[in-house]
Structure 1
């Protein structure tokens, strides 16, 4: 069968990329990989006298690290300097990549090269794509609600795609390579490896990607009404791995997945590598709280939701930044599905291999749905109007093997692309994070040490400090004009996995695993990300960034808008060898794109 010779997996012994692998390289599995855990811990941690699991960092070992500043940041909300770019600076939209200069890709979170070429085959010339007109909308169904006849049709389409010749750009594994090329540095932008994830390109790239993938499937089964399913992980009945992808005899199955998360295992949308020891009701509430924080509280402004601007000359002075959904749950779901027995958490758990698992497209169909829903939530939640954003371009092969160029401005409305989504409940929209603290703080806000007294500090234990606010008791008009942001200065070794949570009006006795509380603000996590060829010069310094968190709604819900200082508590969950909090301040920012 043709599909056998087209399967692409990890083969770290390969020294040079080939146009396409001729045989099936093997992923080595670690049979001793850890199974399901009941607590969150860091293997490299040591316990301090307070009983917390923490590393023992030092300034010496940080300066010795070989660090790539382009690490992947996960965070529940937050804006990493995106407001600091100069809107009047000379720039240009990101052009379509030059496929003739496509080169070796790097495996995410490692120094290893992808052992095959992720570059597309070249057929004909590039043409501008014209979106066809549609007389009816196709409906993308929720994966847990599909019928047997739908499953049969979906399986037939994927089977046909896998059986296409290996050098056919519509072949399933060639389609998987599209994600690898755009996300693992095979293309260059402004002389640097190009990755769509940590910028405002994330949503439109993946929308176009799924659009063409879907049209190829339609053409292969001669059914223009076929639509991809979406994994409804924002709704409790959908917070499990979809059954349609778990049949080992099906072309929708992928062998490289976390076996512990099969068979009706409830997912954690903030998954950080260890399963949460909590009752199912608590996990569901945490998930709903995360969705509310990501879609509502932490994304009142376009750049917070979409991510940092990326133009033809690269990132602005504020650097890169993930949008809220990109960080969590997008990255968390990838990690939750990926196989911990493999070297790099393949398939879903690594960007280069993620699209080799058919569930990738189901996952991203729901991510795409989040973009559509977010724009209905009111306020300033609208698409970015910057011409450099709207005119940025991507290349894809269409269902006829034509290499076409598309613009972001043509994909802002999913209905203009011919599809909508099956209506399903969105309980997170009205989910209320309630005040759970019933006792007084150990110290009042006024008696809690100030940020100047506590910081800078290494996050080896729970840190609590007070931060002065620039204004109190703001009117509704004030809040409409200006968003109140908590800015945390971070300096860290980004070769390590680091995670911590942020709370307001809490202190050292905070209940660690309850995120469905009004005091919870956000969560930071860093996935290690080192590229081959880095480590010289600027790579020797620790990564520094400012993490910006909207807190206007949190202050309202806690009833502390009239306070001139707020108590901030940082709770370490999992750390590398260095996480230093350098500063904390609150500012008012105009919420514009």
Structure 2
């Protein structure tokens, strides 16, 4: 997209010290399945959206297999405001960042201030002749690893000048400032997690970090590696990061998760006692649910709206929820470090080089998700498109950047080396039970809720608003299992899983079952001055596909089981219901 603002030169006080993505070629998004809903429908409408020059672009939607329904949300709906995008932070008001309600970050996370804040221009992409290709970290060769270590070593050496914006610590401080309350916008703390800002902020962040590394080794084609945790071959800490003494090693990692330990993409502090094969199977199941079943619509994937003036953390999108957050927790050294440093806490995450590798794969999921087709496309709300951030480029020049300019990674000059995505075909089909659970033996939802605490597995029966729906009715509306007013202490780790058509004796360590609907999680995040640590959210899960797969389409009443995994004693739920909602 073209920029509406001209770029001007601004002098600063600092002195200088492989193929296209597999998804883009195979385009499986044109054909995708949803249980029995594998009929072909012709969509002849056009979607119009305006670019920043006011020009209208029409996009034809191809023949697709409608389905993959299911809405996923972790927060109460936020009204879509107009003309209220989040502006770039005011650097003059940058203050102390805080870790929690009692501990502030000991050092300043604020960036050096440009000479003239009023003249910071919008960023304009430089010309390029070759895409930077980001390789899967587990498959990187020694030449690449040496180059990456050298670039990081030189970035660390810049820390001799603590105000150099290209220094390793200053780059890490970017995440601290944007995520731990150093900035305020609209009179409230700025938080780029738990909302629709999550994906675009981190994309811009990695963009400049990558270009800085390339400039330090005089290689404009250098691309960051991505931690390919969505593929079995990448489901462990990439070996290049596990070499003690290298510039990309960090000793503040969980020492029990080294040396080829299989990662748990649903990790929330507790170790799952199961086989490596089952762990990888669980991981692929979670990826299928988070990328496909639970993310058919843009807001469900990106996260809740976050216009200027609203409270921070309105609600995560699917990938930020799982696996993004569990990878942070699994990697960070919670057993040894007070706050889970480094990867285990927002303020310190950027101090571990694997953070950028992890987020490269998170960013890759944005590209992969759009390739799935259907309604999976970028948001069109102006409050999202016009939200802005502030960064320094590789020449130490400050710039403002907008969300609308980072929607196409290739236009930004980079792409991902192809790797298979086995989770696309990993729809859970095994069943825990044969037939329908006897719902008459379970208490109805009206007797279970309000639930004072979720300290043990809870099963209940719940009525559906309609059964035996026709295919057109299913395409028009999703059947939503909704948990209203979930409350918990936002300083605690929270996770619980949801199953259909099973009782409380379900084996919750095996997620590759048709009855597994999804999970709700929350990472501790404290906002100073809020006056309360009681989070209150609504959690929605689409169950149309699950009902089909479990043979429950014609049932008026179904069984639901909640299984706490972490922090259940702090969770209360006001009510549960099933509703029909348009996607």
> Please, what TM-score do these two structures have when normalized by structure 1?
0.82
Bigger shift: 445-454 or 252-261? 445-454
- Deviation per CA, 1:199-239: give whole Å up to 9, x if none: 10000000000000011111111111110000000000100
Q: Does 1:258 align with 2:254?
A: yes
Match of 2:414 in 1: 419
**1:91/1:313 contact within 8 Å kept:** no
Match of 1:362 in 2: 357
Deviation, 1:578, is 2.7
Q: Please give the alpha-carbon distance, in whole angstroms, between the structure 1 residues aligned to 2:504 and 2:317.
A: 29
Match of 1:85 in 2: 78
Bigger shift: 567-576 or 326-335? 567-576
- Deviation per CA, 1:535-570: give whole Å up to 9, x if none: 4xxx17x43221111222211211212222221101
Deviation, 1:534, is 4.6
Q: Which runs of 5+ in 2 are unaligned?
A: 1-69
Q: Please give the alpha-carbon distance, in whole angstroms, between the structure 2 residues aligned to 1:436 and 1:470.
A: 24
Which of 118, 126, 137 is matched with 2:131 structurally? 137
Bigger shift: 411-420 or 556-565? 556-565
Q: Please give the alpha-carbon distance, in whole angstroms, between the structure 1 residues aligned to 2:581 and 2:434.
A: 33
Which of 287, 307, 320 is matched with 1:326 structurally? 320
1:462-481 correspondence runs (5 A): 462-481=457-476
SS at match of 1:305: helix
Bigger shift: 231-240 or 482-491? 482-491
Match of 2:174 in 1: 178
**1:487/1:546 contact within 8 Å kept:** yes
Match of 2:333 in 1: 339
**1:451/1:584 contact within 8 Å kept:** yes
**1:77/1:522 contact within 8 Å kept:** no
Q: Please give the alpha-carbon distance, in whole angstroms, between the structure 2 residues aligned to 1:494 and 1:225.
A: 42
**1:501/1:572 contact within 8 Å kept:** yes
> Please, what TM-score do these two structures have when normalized by structure 2?
0.84
Q: Please give the alpha-carbon distance, in whole angstroms, between the structure 1 residues aligned to 2:526 and 2:86.
A: 24
SS at match of 1:353: helix
Q: Does 1:151 align with 2:145?
A: yes
Q: Please give the alpha-carbon distance, in whole angstroms, between the structure 2 residues aligned to 1:405 and 1:474.
A: 50
Q: Does 1:510 align with 2:517?
A: no
Match of 2:548 in 1: 556
Q: Please give the alpha-carbon distance, in whole angstroms, between the structure 1 residues aligned to 2:481 and 2:501.
A: 13
Deviation, 1:459, is 1.7
> CA RMSD for the aligned pairs?
1.8
**1:111/1:531 contact within 8 Å kept:** no
Deviation, 1:397, is 0.2
**1:493/1:576 contact within 8 Å kept:** no
**2:188/2:311 contact within 8 Å kept:** no
**2:480/2:542 contact within 8 Å kept:** yes
SS at match of 1:521: strand
Q: Please give the alpha-carbon distance, in whole angstroms, between the structure 2 residues aligned to 1:474 and 1:558.
A: 15
Q: Please give the alpha-carbon distance, in whole angstroms, between the structure 2 residues aligned to 1:228 and 1:179.
A: 17
Deviation, 1:533, is 4.3
**1:111/1:530 contact within 8 Å kept:** no
Bigger shift: 422-431 or 465-474? 465-474
**1:446/1:565 contact within 8 Å kept:** no
Which of 479, 484, 487 is matched with 2:482 structurally? 487
* Corresponding residue pairs, total: 506
Q: Which runs of 5+ in 1 are unaligned?
A: 1-75
Q: Please give the alpha-carbon distance, in whole angstroms, between the structure 2 residues aligned to 1:289 and 1:563.
A: 26
Which of 432, 455, 461 is matched with 2:456 structurally? 461
Bigger shift: 344-353 or 576-585? 576-585
Match of 1:230 in 2: 226
- Deviation per CA, 1:323-347: give whole Å up to 9, x if none: 1100111010000110120110000
**2:493/2:566 contact within 8 Å kept:** yes
Q: Please give the alpha-carbon distance, in whole angstroms, between the structure 1 residues aligned to 2:101 and 2:225.
A: 32
SS at match of 2:73: coil
Deviation, 1:532, is 4.3
